Structure 1
Amino acid sequence: MGKVLVSSYDVIGDIAIVEVPEGMEGKKKEIAMSIMDAQKHIKTVMEKKSNRHGEFRLRDMEPIMGTETVTDHKENDCVFRLDVTEAYFSPREGTERVRVANQVKPGETVLVMFAGVGPFSVVIGKKQPRVRKVYSVEINPDAVKWMEENIRLNRLKYVVEPMLGDAREECKKLYGKCDRVVMPLPKEGRNFLETAIRCLKPKGIVHFYYVGPEENMFKIGNDVIRMECKKLGRKCRILKQQKVLPYGPRMFKVCIDFEVE
């Protein structure tokens, strides 16, 4: 087995997604072959051509080797089918999805905002089979198409309910009805905090994700949470602060779990 020519890449099912380092543009094929040699199940290697952008959080990609962009990704006893060019999916957050799912209690009504192809929703449904309902809101119609497929594949038809549309509008139907809200949108999530809080029953819990600087990664989130709760006349209590993943130089994706009275 030869040496992989890049330091990191993502693997979703049998597809590898790689960022070609500056100065190695002429060695794309060699990079792809080194990945496929190291992980024999890989059938397609895609090159990242942009950062995530737009309302649907997609990035531009081009195939280096292989052509298939639809794959089945297995995680936490679940399977996720998706086209990696059509919908956002992070294979690096499986541990975080289990952390949240393990907190869900029997009988809870859960809202997952920005649900993508359903990874949080499906893992919650599988890990807590006695959950009352998981409402799964996503604005990208292609992602919802795959979410519906993943609900079927994981036999959660009567547990996870897909909702297509903008979270601010769709969630109005859920004001005061949820025991727990998951907000896995790190950059713009704070703009939806008011909506999330309005969806909670008394003593409901929010899992709020955002990007913070290494030196004071939790302060920004704490300030935003307290400001939004105060604006709505609700008291809150911080339950846990969690560093999830590096997001860039000296920046981290973090999660704050908080309860609203």
Structure 2
Amino acid sequence: MRDLKIRIGEREILHGINLDLIPGQITGLAGESGSGKSITGLAMLRLLPKNAKTEGSITFEGRDLLALPERDMGRIRGQHVGMVFQDPTASLHPMLTIERQLTDHLRAHTGVSKKEARERALDVLRKVRVPLPETALKKYPHQFSGGQLQRIAIAVAIICEPRILIADEPTTALDVTVQAGVLRLLRQLCDDLGLAVLLITHDLGVMSSLADRIAVLRQGEIVEEGTRYDVLRNPQHEYTRALIDALPSHERAGADLESAESAAPVEEISKEVGNE
């Protein structure tokens, strides 16, 4: 993203932000409610409100996504850029089986056969660690727990093997112990598949153990950006310092650890900081 500005109606939401996503890394976008985090993610998929006006550029594989015809953009959504939402039910059809949702999505973007689509659906359910994937394919969304639904939503997002995955508050609606498992899954998928992940969250506690880089967004502006270690151990902006000061002491201590492998205990990484 370069000098991205977004105006909705009379209000300017983003004031010219710059952000890079790197394959095999998780970039955390942190900030309080209303800072523009979710709008940033939606802009990458060009899913903004009809009255939104954009300036700047979002470049993917040499093409500016903001300037592409809608037909070309439709191919990029889902196939090259996947998104996981806070509420998994928002992206899953209640009346369709999991098999139908996975295979329809895959075939719409790739044109593979029904047989291959089913095989890949099974494979992706194994990747996201959904128990008994053969049985899971035959079930409907209401037959799964919240944590399992989020794993299935992640499966839908990655079945086409995208280059970028946007995760917008993917654990906020989940039980604390379930959150930890979903976060570990995102880390593993990023490492194993070489995904460039944008993790949108208000919870710096999550970022202290998961993100490779952190960008801090305040009122539509990125006020600080750097490695997880630099941002959390040596914050330069007063807003970043205020967010860190709001963390419990044991989560601040997690910033001393320079690698994702040295993450804080699972019961600590998903506590919420502030309200969103």
TM-score w.r.t. the length of structure 1 is 0.32
Structure in which a larger fraction of residues adopt strand: 1
Relative contact order, CA 8 A, sep 6+: which one is greater? 2
Structure in which a larger fraction of residues adopt helix: 2
TM-score w.r.t. the length of structure 2 is 0.30
